[in-house]
Amino acid sequence: MAKKRKHIELQNSEPMKKDESNPQRTKRTLLGWKDKAKVKESDSPVFRNKEKVLVTCSRRINYRYRHLMLNVVSLLPHCKKDNKVESKEGKGATLNELVELKNCSSCLFFECRKQKDLYLWMAKSPNGPSVKFIVNAVHTMEELKLTGNHLNGSRPILTFSTNFDEDPQWKLLKEIITQIFGTPKDHRKVKPYPDHVFVFSIIDDHIWFRNYQISVPHNETDKVDRGGLDKMTLVEVGPRFCLNPIKIFGGSFGGPILYENPFYVSPNQIRALEKKQKAGKYAKKIKAKTRRKMHELSNPLEPNEFTDMWKE
């Protein structure tokens, strides 16, 4: 049988002293072991992008515009989608509260009116500024069926035309678009590499949006070297839309007007002019008809033998 070990009594009842030469153990956190020395070194003012965008729409939105909003949501992995908001005069306070509850810093609000006109609000919450656009030439991914295809959640490269550096309103719009559509580098839902391009270009005072995939050949014999941009090609993915700026406000969804587009004409005025033109065509037809009747009364036909025969 195995022998039992004898209990050795401690000769000295004094507690053991800690060895001061050993380094002190670091604290454990949720992200790992926390080293005080490393924390002090990393206190340097380094910018970290914590941008989060709230994407929502108004009630009674058209299905086509709702699909456009879903396409934009799929392109922005750092966004948060929320329920529909009633499009009223007091929507600014409601949206600012939703942005604060969702812990976001920006907002994209798709507002549909009369189930025909689509307006897009880009706002920085809670202090502003904010921009109101009218969206034209909408083409969703489902409509286009283009051949381009990029990874879901990858970082985009933002490119702007040279017109954005000419006037101050375009410089402000470029900064707002960069902050909203620029995906943070260390976001948890983002791939660490870019494989598509967002193109913003100004043509006729309108901002045109295009999304292209960066296509690279993958054959072993035709590998692309570093800096070999001549072999890379761009394939359009979608969606497509055009933004016509209406007003730029100093606050979030309101405030002092910083810029107003002098060439903007509302869709209601365009429809009213079309109705007047149609009414003018109808009035011309009625006038021509009355003119023919007056001409017949003033110039009666002379009696004829054949007409008298038919009357008998």
Domain boundaries, given as residue ranges, for the chain: 53-264, 269-298
Q: Given pLDDT bands bounded at 50, 70 and 90, which one contains residue 17?
A: low
> Between 145 and 161, where is the model more confident?
161
Per-residue confidence (pLDDT) for residue 48, from 0 to 100: 80
Average pLDDT along the chain:
83
- Rounded CA gap, 276 and 24, in Å? 86
Residue 56 has pLDDT above 90, yes or no: yes
pLDDT in tens, 228-261: 667 788 999 989 999 999 999 999 999 999 999 9
Per-residue confidence (pLDDT) for residue 40, from 0 to 100: 45
Residue 279 has pLDDT above 90, yes or no: no
Ranges 147-161, 247-261, 280-294: which has the least confidence: 280-294
Q: What architecture (CATH level 2) is domain 53-264? A: 3-Layer(aba) Sandwich (3.40)
Q: Given pLDDT bands bounded at 50, 70 and 90, which one contains residue 220?
A: low
Those residues with Cβ within 8 angstroms of residue 215's Cβ, 6 or more apart along the chain or in another chain = 148, 232, 233, 234, 235
Q: Given pLDDT bands bounded at 50, 70 and 90, which one contains residue 282?
A: confident
pLDDT in tens, 73-89: 999 999 999 989 987 87
pLDDT in tens, 161-192: 999 999 999 999 999 999 999 998 888 888 88
Ranges 109-118, 158-167, 273-282: which has the least confidence: 273-282
